[in-house]
Amino acid sequence: MKFIFDFDDVLFYNTKQLKEHMYICLEKVGVSRNIVEPYYTEARKKEFSLKNLISSLVARENIKQINIKDICEEIMNECKNFVNKELLEVIKKIGKENCFLISYGQEKFQQEKIKRTSVASLFSKIIIVQESKKEAVEKICARYKDEEVIFIDDKAHHFKDLDFKKYPNLKTILYDEQGLKKLFSILPQ
């Protein structure tokens, strides 16, 4: 059995913890959440990176008290504490040879988060995509056609274009509040 994990909001608490920590850090230097929020929403529409978000915020709001490099470091420095530790333990047990990571987003920013969380050594392969995950997922299904491939993601839209007819070995788990429970239920005993 092979497992493909998503990073943001599956293995890494991006929305619940990193984003909240970012708001707190900015509030501490006098930039309130309601100023940052529209910039965040806008930045999310494109390939998101923290540096781009802070840079446009500082430039357009004419903020003088922020050093972009320093605040980015302060925010990113906490990444190591935002890992889904329960899931991490499961991944360790499943074993590197059976685990793949496919993450969506800006290459450099995703790489930085992955590096800071020190999870890279737990995966056979790490793939970062800027568009659909389809190609990367199906390639793994084709390579391991005699095994079940379980693709775990918190966003159902990543499942939409997958070819389940061509790859009958592919199964998906929507990683919601019940995500870990769902994963446990299909793990070989």
Nearest-CA neighbor of 159 among 167, 171, 148, 147?
Answer: 171
Calpha distance 175→153 (Å, rounded): 5
Q: Which of residues 115-154 bind Mg ion (CB under 5 A)?
A: 154
| Residues listed for the chain | 189
- Whichever of 55 and 132 has its CB closer to Mg ion, that residue is 132
Interacting residue with Mg ion among 3, 9, 12, 150 (CB under 5 A): 9
If one asks whether residue 48 binds Mg ion (CB under 5 A), the answer comes out as: no
C-beta of 54: minimal distance to Mg ion in Å? Answer: 22
If one asks whether residue 17 binds Mg ion (CB under 5 A), the answer comes out as: no
Tell me the angle at which helices 68-76 and 107-117 cross, rounded to the nearest 10 degrees: 50
If one asks whether residue 8 binds Mg ion (CB under 5 A), the answer comes out as: yes
Indicate the residue whose CB is closest to Mg ion: 8
| 185, amino acid identity | S
User: How many chain residues bind Mg ion (CB under 5 A)?
Assistant: 4
Q: The tokens 């984003």 sit on which residue?
A: 19
Interacting residue with Mg ion among 2, 5, 6, 57 (CB under 5 A): 6
- Whichever of 32 and 178 has its CB closer to Mg ion, that residue is 178
- Part in contact with Mg ion (CB under 5 A); list of ranges 1-9, 80-88, 129-137, 159-167: 1-9
Calpha distance 175→186 (Å, rounded): 13
C-beta of 70: minimal distance to Mg ion in Å? Answer: 28
Q: Helix or strand or coil: residue 20?
A: helix
Q: Are residues 11 and 118 in contact, defined by beta-carbon separation less than 8 angstroms?
A: no
Q: The tokens 């940052």 sit on which residue?
A: 36
- Part in contact with Mg ion (CB under 5 A); list of ranges 9-17, 32-40, 60-68, 105-113: 9-17
**What is the binding site for Mg ion (CB under 5 A)?**
6, 8-9, 154
